[in-house]
Amino acid sequence: MTTTLAPPVPIGKSAVGALGILALSTGALESVVAPTIPLLERELDMSQSEGALLSIILLITGALITPLAGKFGDRYGGKKILIRLMAVVSVGGTVSALAPNLPVLLVGQVLQGAMIGALPLSFIVVRKHLPAGESKVAIGVVSGLFVGGSMVGMLSAGPVAEQLSRHWMFALPTLAVIGATLLVNRLMPTDPPGRSDDSGIDWPGLLLLSGMLVTLMLVLALAPEAGSQPLPLVALVLVLAAFVTGWVRVERRAAAPMIDLRMLARPAIWKACVLTFVICLGATMAVYLIPQLLDERGDGYGFGAGATEIGFFLLPGAIAATLAGPLGGIGDRRFGSRAVVNTGVVMMTAGLLAVAAVHTEVWHLVVGKVLIALANGLCVTAMMTSTAAAVDKGDTGIATSLILVSRVVGSAVGGQLGGALLTAGTPSGSKVAAESAYVTGFVIAGVVVSLALFVTRTMSKGVKA
């Protein structure tokens, strides 16, 4: 005798809106540390190396949690895992808000890193409750609001920390996350669990991936000092190679790998991951370099802007990033992912190279940032929606988790490369980076992003795995 499962309950705009508010809140909480690192270093008596650790710990945690969250969401139901995950995030935000010192703040950031796993869980829920066409638009809305939330957090963190305190820059978005989680729990119907199996968690793969990401960040952090300290850098590169080799072997042999390399071998998936990595690397270099250039006080370059002014100058980019998600979802449905990604890549390359060539007025940076933010949102949303549609519904969480891990790693590498270029371009005894360091950074980012066109040429109009 067979049991017929009841079809999923359709959801309305209010439920999708609740997911969007949650994405906006988590995006804001994710991004408050990056623009306030100098302030946190002063208030918590942190060294630069400790500041670098604080800036990347959330990304590393997110990259580790995301595949597990997607897999558990596919297996046990997206809403169930999403609510539990956001409870962890809420605790982490509270710990960060109350943190009296660096160790406690690091604990809070580790817990907050679980928020990056919320996106694939949202996609699982949306795909189970909406038709294919509507789900693409809904995924675009949620993705766009997460990107927009990240920009809102980056813009507001400095003014909130200066006018109130560093505690409130964590507390305010945490309160929003708690409220949005309660709203999702009330409005979103429970989705049925997917496939069930007896396989356990891939702990060896999780530990090796953790070591790989931490070592990669250390390599990038030490790169500017390669001339004076070559041996530590070489040693770390060898350790990184060992971690990568061990991780690949473990994942290939695991019965239930944390990241399914067989799925990654599908052309649609690995192309989407490569594109996401490259695009996020270029976008994050710009996200780091443009505020630094606005704040810079060089001879003939830079504008000496304060935190509030910088937030105002970056606001148009935040608006563009928010609109990019829904536009990317609609464009993917009407024209296909390849057309959307090609448009975004050309737009971002043009913005990066334009800023490299012309940056003597504030509006040059503002317009460049709008182009870069809009292009980034279009590309990442197209990759998310096309990947989610290219696999079976039961594999949605795992597949989109691969894209999110690529986003996190690309963003971390881009930020570290931008910092390394400015460090290398700062003369000894000076605190002002050379103008050539900024130009080099924008040019490198533009060239790297343009290479994505070689990948998009091999994509079908609508990506299919």
Q: For 273-319, how does the pLDDT look when each residue is reduced to its tens digit (9 = 90+)?
A: 888 899 989 988 888 888 888 878 888 888 887 767 777 787 788 78
281 & 368 share domain: yes
Boundary-marking domain end, from 159, 191, 223: 191
At a CB cut-off of 8 Å and minimum separation 6, what does 126 contact?
11, 16, 19, 135, 138, 139, 142
What is the C-alpha separation between 251 and 115, in angstroms, rounded?
24
Task: Summarize the confidence of residues 397-412 as an average pLDDT.
Answer: 75
Is 433 part of a structural domain of the chain?
yes
Question: What is the chain's mean pLDDT, rounded?
Answer: 80
Q: Is the same domain home to 218 and 361?
A: no
Mean pLDDT: which of 5-19, 23-37, 140-154 is highest?
23-37
| pLDDT number for residue 460 | 60
Report if residue 198 sits inside a domain.
no
The reported pLDDT for the residue numbered 4 is 46
CB 107 within 8 A of CB 88: no
Which of 167, 191, 215 is the last residue before a domain boundary?
A: 191
Residues 362 and 305 in one domain: yes
Residue 4 domain-assigned?
Answer: no
Q: Is residue 73 part of a domain?
A: yes
Q: Are residues 147 and 209 in the same domain?
A: no
What is the distance in angstroms between the CA of the first residue and the CA of the last residue of the chain? 34
Establish if 409 belongs to a structural domain: yes
Q: Is residue 92 a contact partner of residue 110, using CB atoms and an 8 Å limit?
A: yes
Residues 63, 176, single domain; the answer is yes
Task: List pLDDT tens digits, range 355-365.
Answer: 999 999 999 99
In the predicted model, what is the mean pLDDT of residues 429-448? Answer: 89
Percent of the chain with pLDDT over 70: 86
DSSP readout, 104-145?
A: HHHHHHHHHGGGGGHHHHHHHHHHHHS-HHHHHHHHHHHHHH
* pLDDT 10s digits, 182-199: 988 888 777 766 655 555
Residue 456 makes CB contacts below 8 A (sequence gap 6+) with: 275, 338, 341, 342, 345
Q: What is the pLDDT of residue 226?
A: 65
Please say if the pLDDT value at position 446 is more than 50.
yes
Q: Is the whole model's pTM more than 0.75, yes or no?
A: no
The CATH number assigned to the domain holding 463 equals: 1.20.1250.20
pLDDT band at 465 (very low <50, low <70, confident <90, very high): very low
On whether residue 5 sits in a domain, the answer given is: no
**Residue 273: inside a domain:** yes
Residues in Cβ contact with 36 at an 8 Å cutoff, skipping those fewer than 6 apart = 157, 158, 161, 166, 169
pLDDT digits 0-9 by tens, 249-271: 888 887 777 677 777 778 778 88
Residues 251 and 263 in one domain: no
pLDDT score recorded for residue 186: 85
Do 332 and 460 lie in one domain? The reply is yes
Last residue of a domain, one of 146, 162, 191: 191
Same domain, yes or no: 235 and 169: no
Structural domain contains residue 230:
yes
Question: Are 120 and 247 part of one and the same domain?
Answer: no
Q: Quick one: tokens of 234?
A: 């070489």
Percent of the chain with pLDDT over 90: 19
Whether residues 131 and 102 share a domain: the answer is yes
Whether 166 and 215 map to the same domain: the answer is no
Q: Are residues 330 and 427 in the same domain?
A: yes
Domain hosting 56: range is 10-191
pLDDT of residue 197: 55
Q: Please state the domain count of the chain.
A: 3
